[in-house]
Chains A and B, each alone.
Chain A
Amino acid sequence: MTYAIETDRLTKDYGPRRVVDGLSLRVPTGCVYGFLGRNGAGKSTTIKMLLGMVRPSFGRVRLLGHDLDALPPPARGRIAYLAEGQPLYGWMTVAEASRFARAFHPGRWDGPRLDQILDHFELPARAKVRRLSNGQRASLALALAIAPDPDLLILDDPTLGLDTVARHDFLLSMIHLVQREGRTILFSSHILADVERVADRVGVLVGGTLRVDCPTDRFKQAVGKVVLEFAGPPPAFPPCPGLVQAWEVGRRLELVFVDFGDEQRRAVESLAPLSWDFAALSLEDAFVAYTRGPRRSLPAFDGGPPEAPESDADRGGA
């Protein structure tokens, strides 16, 4: 297995504050990786370090098999990046912005394809960038990122501020890119339903640490909620592996677990509740339940090394 992105203990300190803490991220070639975390978790800083825009305090980055410090220009031309907020020069026209972006990817620019996408989004070549709507600007930025047919595409919150239709079109463009073999995409997002549609794997950053790194379905199925009913005030829940958080709601005790199995079942039954029930969660609810818990006790988990994507299948019964 080759990795399009590989970081080794990547760390960034801003003064006394550690923003990214020992991140060892590996994104397999051909993977669509959803990079998740709450605001301030360190996503944007990580992405900027991946691209050499922020110098790490410690650690290394390898992209497409090359050390970032020694990335040869041809490899650089195979990487495209879409920054948060899709910054473009407002005074340029669509055609000028295209010519400008083209210069960064000599020999790899697919002009007819770009025209086709611009046409699809109804972006006239003569329109001024600053007169475009948010959705049009995002579409233009994505079209420019896709035009060099990049082997690695890194997107920082690309659908932020887009309406539903624009987001849909944007995701569809991503799907088109993915359908070309071997293309790798890493994107950060807060819209979990989008992530579930397009991401093979997810990574969840909590307080600068990568807490989750596994197939998307595995994360969704691993995080579950258990509700215990009692006759009176519920007892405290004993320490138990996999417990993310617990809270009382009247006579109910609501627990969130990672990998609810026999051991957890016994812990639940040891409290002799009147009844209890396990419920799976949507990806969004799983994310909220997981990242809202107290950080220190958060059980980190992954779906095994990326070499073994099947590992979610044998644990699927959890």
Chain B
Amino acid sequence: MRYEIDGASRLPIYQQLMRQVREGIARGGLKPGDQLPSVRQMSRDLVVNPNTVARAYAELEREGLVTNRPGRGVFVAEPRGVLADDARRGRLIEAVDRLLTEAVHLGFSEEEVARLVAARSGRFRWNGAKSGGGEQG
């Protein structure tokens, strides 16, 4: 897994890093139990302040996506429903609305968007269906 920082981005660096880890987990590039680079290593690889990397890891841990085993390192956590169903749903709706807004402005039709979502879905690693999984596609 390769990480990179965009200096022109509007997102703070620790959030850019969080997003990449999150995406890595969602796409299966990072699997439960995989070890992330140490803060020290990541800080050198990306040429960013170690505190920034530590902050990204701490926030990811707070979200339950990674676990920090002191003295051993930071590992991708086993998936678990950290958020209540309502909160999960709310967060997803927010993201979907952002996507749809963009799609409307870019002039896509409803069918085109649905097809695109279905096509892209194949590239991700899905959890076994929990509640609400059947709405897909």
Contacts and interface: CB of A to CB of B under 8 A. Distances in A.
Interface of A: 32, 168, 171-172, 175-176, 178-179, 192-194, 196-200, 216-217, 220-221, 279-284
B40 A197 contact: no
A197 B5 contact: yes
A178 B49 contact: yes
A175 B8 contact: no
A197 B44 contact: no
Interface residues of B, number: 19
A171 B51 contact: no
B8 A197 contact: no
Contacts of B47: 168, 171-172, 175, 197-198
A280 B11 CA distance: 8
A178 B10 contact: no
Contact of B13 (A171, A172, A197, A280): A197
Given A197-B52, A198-B49, A217-B12, 8 more contacts: A176-B44, A178-B50, A192-B7, A196-B13, A197-B47, A216-B12, A280-B11, A282-B10
B10 A193 contact: no
Contact of B7 (A179, A196, A200): A196
B93 interface: no
A175 B43 CA distance: 7
Given A193-B7, A282-B9, A179 B14 contact: no
A181 to B, nearest CB: 10
A175 B14 CA distance: 16
